[in-house]
Structure 1
Amino acid sequence: MFRFICVVIFLVTFLILSIPVFLVEWIIGKFNRQKRDYSSLRIVQWAFKVILKFTSVKTTVIGEEHVPDEPVLFIGNHRSFFDILLTYSRCRRLTGYVAKKEMEHIPLLSTWMRYLYCLFLDRENPKEGLKTILQAIDYVKNGISICIFPEGTRNKGEELSMLPFKDGAFKIATKTNCAIIPVSMNNTCAIFEKQFPRIKKVHVVIEYGEPIYPNNLDKEDKKHIGSYVQNIIQETIRKNADLV
């Protein structure tokens, strides 16, 4: 429980102290939008790294050199709230995450998310969902990477299982031909979800796959690109199961 209490205290303190920081960031943005974007990115990454320090999680990262220095679509399996902290704290470029619509109503946290080009997806409204995907496509065209977990929600099943991927997410790549980077994560739910509300010191593995450019795929693989990417992630988490 000690780790959980430390994380909660830090998170609440960080969000409260963010109030004057938002004003400073807003002023910076009036003169230099890119400078504001990257300062916001580094501030949030610092906070995430502090939280991960509290968890004492040990992370093995494989294949990070595969991520090109260009806007990409990160596609990952999703089993824990900590998936976001583990991956976002490693982003070198501006990256917006696609989150569920409900997070838009969390005070202060949602402000940081908007500063960082995160998008809020309404899974119950197809029309609004399409608008979110179109906005993500526009972000990629303007040099901002996008990360999405196409299972649609956290998978609470067996460790090596995955929910079917939602196909809509892949339009972000097929409409821009940006690289898809498969992100395979093992054992992340053991940090928190398995023994809620305790946070446990565990070992997790994150592997970044080689870039997949939709236009380089054959016709059949491109037609079923969601299944194609999901199979890569599924094979990778099975391969890495013995490392945790």
Structure 2
Amino acid sequence: MKAATFILTAGLMLTLSGCMATGEDSMARLSNEEIAVMDLTERELSLRTDMEAIGFEHQPFSTTIDTFTMPINDLFVNQYELMEQYRAIQEEHIDVQSFLNANDGKSDDELLAAAMAFDAEAESEDQKILPSLQRYESANDAIFSSNLALATKLTMQAVRLYDLSQIDLAALLEDEGMMMLTKIGQFGEVYDRAKAQLDYIGYANEYIEHNEKLVQQLQNLQGLKTASNASN
């Protein structure tokens, strides 16, 4: 049994390290600095493409292992769906996206000044950007609340994945009546996929969180606008 356990463990480690080293997921190969400077549209497209390539259908392995991987898969699906809902909001508010992209990096005061200057040139109320910014802010509230809840679940599943990496797979497969050695490669693939799903849940969660900071700036704008109107 000890020899079989050693062979299984050694084979598993080689399988996992090989999968991690040769993964073709584009976001996974980028540094945090490279991700940070990506255009938001490009970043969202890359995330969506990579998550679709990883896949959303759970891959069963064993009764016990599935208790680790199924919640991760469900969370992965939920995060992708939330990102799709968020994308729909962005597409519905193209005017806001264009304005924010054109004024990226500006302080609250500078952004308010740009918005007021924009509205001063508007030919009708429908063309003004400040009301659109307020509608955009309201539309995102539920998204950001859900994203925070998923971030909490992500932390919990990361701990669970670590627990899975420490499991005595040889004993587990023996208890479940499986042929151990024929399962080495399959477990490596299952674990690697769960790890990739967790990574991309994190990437997508951070993408939405980054945009939440922009919306928080919009909330500041409303306060500044109110203060500006009161002083006039």
TM range (shorter): under 0.3
Larger Rg computed on CA atoms: 2
* TM-score (normalizing by structure 1): 0.25
Higher helix share: 2
Bigger RCO (CA 8 Å, 6+ sep):
2
Higher strand share: 1
